[in-house]
Chains A and B, each alone.
Chain A
């Protein structure tokens, strides 16, 4: 929705002003009873260890297990089921738990009984203290006098089973060390650490209390008052963080670990078949491999929701402030072991649709009156079944052909559209690809033009085509340009291509129709001739100036003239400074950073690009941009059209042939072969009671409902936010139908329908346990990145922190079992929300630092806007794999480790990937045999870091590593450029930025600090 909406409502999504929870309510902290209630509900599921995502292991503490879950110190260690370390073998771990136990809390005694809520006891101070205190204390102390419930970091409430994960195993597991210290504001704990007790007002007290320790604080801690967001959170959060870091830091292993969550999910649900027959069931995480069987709801590959249980009323929604959103990736790639979409063809009748709301026939339609009529599941309208579609019903009211018709039994399927669905009621022409190459001096000089031309020769052989067809129906055209445009006539009957120069860039036009867009096979020789000549033709050019908007305009006009949709592939290198529409000047003003005007840097410089994007979408022209900047190119302006037209942005800074060509070529190949639909209109229909209100992605909207996309490919996702209109009923649930009308690569007009049913509940706990953090982060990222255009970053960051705190506070207040105020209690489904949120906050887009290139920020901002859940997950929390421990026998990926420097070791080799970049980090004492195996050089010192491809060494390590890299790369839309990083060498700084749990290089707090910060916020809210 409008940005204003956003502005008006601080929290993303639900727009409740202020905090829904009134402080008083928080009076009782994690009340076990609260917590338990959800449990109760879940009970049925409880037994299934597998069902509960939060739980790793069956209940049954296994001492050994805990260790690995360094992460959630919070979880009741006692409960084996949780990944939380039971008895912390490691000192740290153990300690961590302990601290959390709020001394005040009595609840924790029996972890088993405890609610499913995971409590993270204590605020930072507590945590920190714990970390160190625990080392000794726990053991010594034994159970604290108070039955301190360890801070319960309960896995999602759904977790139910026994072990509510308390943070500290303590309470739960007898084995756990007694919480030693309790520091919450409660005086109770007599503890060395007592000092940390947060005063009633966390901020103040902390501030005062800890000063001495500041010095002691180590790395991750933020020294400053603010969390790592310098200036970012002058407000509330800052204060909370204000306290000087305690001497000891909180043990990172004691806080929820994303890796642990991922691994747990993988272990419990990986490799299984996930049938979509149940409404509102929560799919496995995006990081888990599993097989999906469509049984009436769309596969999570197509749609993922932030929660699979909507609150029944808007009041509830406002109270929880959990965004209700779906991330829809309508063209998601389906693995080969899953069934591709069925195609329904009703001939001239076209799809069957509800007369009132125009929803398409789907499993949510209820047939009545012996099959003569059906009731729409979305608007409840009773419609006559068209005669051609009539079928009798069976004894349970189902049509006899239920299983024969995809639209009756499946969540996703396609319809062949009739002429009514076509532009001007004419069947569309097959789409065209136009390749537009910047032949200005820099591109010629660095060999890029030659590279592109060479590559096109092979790549054009692989134009996408329908499976049954021999030849791709896609036509191709070629344009080169610098400050003028060169069109090429490559008609098959020509002996030589013809070049037509259009110099009127002020009002660009298409100089030829016939012969510009051709079938590649037919014109192959002419095209090859052309591609051979292009590099030579401009070899002597030293034209430095380029145009940009006219290039897009030209492509769009060409498609318009040919009356077909299509895609432009633009290979561009520089700021378009030539006199023409869309001319840009260098306006990269670092002085704007961290001011209210910073947003300007993300806005296009001129509105030319905005209207151009509109035109492009109106004519089904998608723009994919390959950028090769060597300096500032004003990404915010250049990227706008690609972003709004469903294209993709690729950026190769300081392109060097020998380093970057592979990455570029992979991207190019991938992009051309991608599954893609053109000239698409998407519509999200919902059952009564709620509706889609806000949309994020590479889309353009001319009204409030139709999502227009010049093209949409398999990697693009649209995030849709829903809001209540009315009450939802638990019985009927919340139904979503997403319909995409598009043109296939062969020029067929089709409708792709995805249906998804969600549950509704009037219990907040249900809502919380059905949440999905990955989708939430996707939503938060997009909404925040969208807001970047209109609001100061500071405000945005505050809102994000506030809303995070709010969601958690609401949970704490309404769902968690009572516990000490100092306890941080996280719902199982949101255990990793803080760490991910912190990653989002640390993303360079939201980080106002002049050190970061403006272009890079704009680039990432635009990138994220159309990301799907899996991509955003990896993007914000990179995958860090230890390579030195690789089992060369196994084909599995090694277990990832948390993105923190502390996880690295001098004798280790680590691979880090975030979807854009890949780093191979080499510890100074990396085992020589590994180095030999991977690089084929004798020692660390011999490794040449100036490479982007690993040498193909025959050794098992090399093969294994390259295979792993292949797997990581495989599903990602962008080819990741590999950087070899040696420990303690300068490039390591870049690498460090991706260790997202640590304090950022350019600011951004560490995970621990952030957690503390959030905790303070929560406390404040609760009070």
Chain B
């Protein structure tokens, strides 16, 4: 085996799994002393070119409480045609189809390289995907126009047999009937009245209306295969109609007097969308796509009143308990989100407005259902347009990069228990022997539902070592975890992906070095960050920071090498060296700091943080800074104010923003127009290089980042300045007396100060 780094990378590529610890401490006590919990980041649908699905169903352990899937770690008796479950040790007979197996003739699931394998389940009716557009019409004319065009465009991207539906809302909510010829027909609902699913279905005539219909014309009963047929129709049938319908969509016609916000019934619109699908297509893949241009201003789920003079809640209001509608609205959307999750549908929110749109209250909708959340300034921006287009991007097989209605089941060997998960999922409340009583994230279950997921959706899954100290695990023992993800593929197939991994146990007292070396600080940072962000949703910001600090100090105490009370002697091994730095940046990140962010922005950032894979998450925690200069090829540089030099172009990627920053000199050159002079073509190339790199990032990322092109002294430079480590500030600039870098006007502590402090605390025997 090569280095742990390679091992980790290989594992990630093969299984989409990264563990905080790759050698596991063998007892509960020791595990808790490790500070960072045993946990992993799992990307259930990680794209793998070399993973063709097998066209049969998995073989399950026959023990009813286990039902683990046959995997390469199982012991197989080829002669007796028996296999032993590696989780419960049950001996199972192979099914008849496996009679031919032998050491040389193995099914794929027994081959070691198929630690992750995907099965295609053939049974069950295949229902087409469903896309239900829920469109706000209280938009500015050009915004609405842009949105309409995007929606029309999206019809061409949908699978032809996908069902689409359209709900528009403003003061009222309209559910458009798509089947009728001639007169366009819609069902209208008052935007102020909350309706139960039953009422909605009654009002839409979804409950047994087919009966009289059929009596009326017994001749063609097959005309309405689905009662919902009127509202959800295959794209290929009605794309012309729907295109026209979208084209004719008008702004909400109700007058908005001066000083008022338009009345926007987002809450009811979503409720109706949920109710519509709930009644007609439970447990089939469906996306409710909410496009909104402002906050809900009436009815259930309203976030702010229609008086413009009363601004929408800020963090300040929330802290002061001054956000009148927040709790009620949140409750409303949570109720919707839970219902949606139960039905296996997901809700996307595309919110484009200059002001807040109530994402704080609505965040649970995408968060619990695995939907997307996109925030922009206007529907008429490339940010929205391209992001939206990217939803429908396809993989190399021509399938949409989306999957629906997944359940993730986790099985562990008996030394481990499942503490919880953090990600775009809801608990299925399946208790079992491997479920821990201690919860981290969404716990108390061994199964979660992920209603919408894509190849990058990543969950943090936390475990607890339960093996007692006095029952040591024999040398070379391995713990195993199996992840079984059942989902509806975008091709409407039901599929099951099974990932089975195993790690060595190690006695933390005798083999701490091993464990230490197998620490994945990146995964650990992200997993700890997820825990922190998860806590931040329910706890006060400072408490979370204190908790995070304490964990960091404890980790340093545990794994640092130092002499007591001597900060200068403090050292961390390579596998931990970056961890404090991640924590430093995490503390400053918008995931934990709400200062300067609106509640909506915080919700938006946290939403993405809780679902992106490790790489992206790390970028979010600690943005990447590249430098372009004449001194050499582009190189990553420290995210530090000292990196801001006059003769550099900087490219910063924070995940949400791509900032290109021209140093002072560069900016002057450009202003002087050198790039246009043939003799300075190299300067032109230099200017172009970050742009090209930025494009590359822009193309690949979802959601599309905000693209900021600025220069020294530009107002937008604040995006860069707020992220870098303020190693030079107005306070210490002269003290350091160096001419490099740019001072940051902040009172925030710098990384250096942070580290000094950390060392001091780590070596202190007091704590």
Contact = CB atoms under 8 A, between A and B. Distances in A.
B190 A509 contact: yes
Interface string A540-568: 11110000000000000000000000000
A541 B203 CA distance: 16
A830 to B, nearest CB: 59
A294 B27 CA distance: 113
A533 interface: yes
Given A504-B190, A507-B193, A511-B172, A499 B254 contact: no
B203 A503 contact: yes
Contact of A503 (B182, B202, B217): B202
B212 interface: yes
Contacts of A487: 188
Contacts of A504: 189-190, 193, 195, 203
B204 interface: yes
B50 interface: no
Given A496-B184, A513-B253, A530-B183, 17 more contacts: A484-B203, A488-B183, A494-B248, A497-B183, A498-B186, A499-B186, A500-B185, A501-B185, A501-B187, A503-B205, A504-B195, A507-B193, A511-B174, A511-B188, A513-B254, A537-B183, A542-B212
B216 interface: yes
A543 B253 contact: no
B204 A503 contact: yes
A648 B218 CA distance: 41
A512 interface: yes
B532 to A, nearest CB: 45
Contact of A502 (B188, B195, B215, B217): B188
A369 interface: no
Contact of A501 (B182, B188, B193): B188
A515 B212 CA distance: 32
Contacts of B253: 512-515
- Which 10 pairs of residues, A with B, have the shortest CB-CB distance? A503-B203, A511-B188, A514-B253, A499-B185, A501-B187, A500-B188, A509-B190, A542-B216, A498-B184, A499-B183
A511 B190 CA distance: 8
Given A499-B185, A500-B174, A500-B188, A542 B215 contact: yes
Contacts of A542: 212, 215-216
Nearest to A495: B248
Contacts of B216: 540-542
B176 to A, nearest CB: 10
Interface in A444-497: 484, 486-488, 494, 496-497
A513 B216 CA distance: 34
Interface in B162-218: 172, 174, 177, 182-190, 193, 195, 202-205, 212-213, 215-217
Nearest to A503: B203
A515 B183 CA distance: 14
Nearest to B213: A540
A816 to B, nearest CB: 70
Nearest to A561: B254
Contacts of B248: 494
A542 B193 CA distance: 29
Contacts of B174: 500, 511
Nearest to A544: B212
A637 to B, nearest CB: 25
Determine which residue in B172, B183, B217, B248 has the highest number of CB atoms from chain A within 10 A of its CB, and name it: B183
A507 B191 CA distance: 12
Contacts of A530: 183
Nearest to B202: A503
Nearest to A496: B183
Contacts of B202: 503
A486 B205 CA distance: 14
A245 B392 CA distance: 98
Contacts of A507: 190, 193
Nearest to B215: A542
A931 to B, nearest CB: 47
Interface string B208-230: 00001101110000000000000
A532 to B, nearest CB: 9
B550 to A, nearest CB: 54
9 contacts: A499-B184, A499-B186, A501-B186, A502-B187, A504-B203, A514-B253, A533-B182, A542-B215, A542-B216
Nearest to B173: A511
Given A500-B174, A503-B204, A511-B174, A540 B217 contact: yes
A499 B186 CA distance: 6
Nearest to B175: A501
Contacts of B188: 487, 500-502, 511-512
A500 B253 CA distance: 14
A530 B190 CA distance: 24
Contacts of A496: 182-184
A497 B189 CA distance: 19
A494 B253 CA distance: 14
A574 B215 CA distance: 22
Contacts of B193: 504, 507
Nearest to A540: B216
A963 B600 CA distance: 79
A367 to B, nearest CB: 49
Interface string B452-493: 000000000000000000000000000000000000000000
Given A513-B253, A513-B254, A503 B187 contact: yes
A484 B199 CA distance: 13
B212 to A, nearest CB: 6
Determine which residue in A487, A511, A537, A543 has the highest number of CB atoms from chain B within 10 A of its CB, and name it: A511
B185 A498 contact: yes
Given A504-B193, A511-B188, A498 B183 contact: yes
A537 B203 CA distance: 19
Interface string B50-63: 00000000000000
A511 B187 CA distance: 9
A504 B175 CA distance: 13
B331 to A, nearest CB: 22
Interface in A510-541: 511-515, 530, 533, 537, 540-541
Nearest to B203: A503
Nearest to B245: A498
A987 to B, nearest CB: 36
A357 to B, nearest CB: 41
A167 B357 CA distance: 92
Contacts of B217: 540
A912 to B, nearest CB: 44
A497 B181 CA distance: 12
Contacts of A484: 203
B268 to A, nearest CB: 11
A87 B255 CA distance: 81
Contacts of B213: 540
Contacts of A499: 183-186
A388 B174 CA distance: 57
A503 B202 CA distance: 8
A513 B256 CA distance: 12
Contacts of A488: 183
Contacts of B189: 502-504
Contacts of A533: 182-183
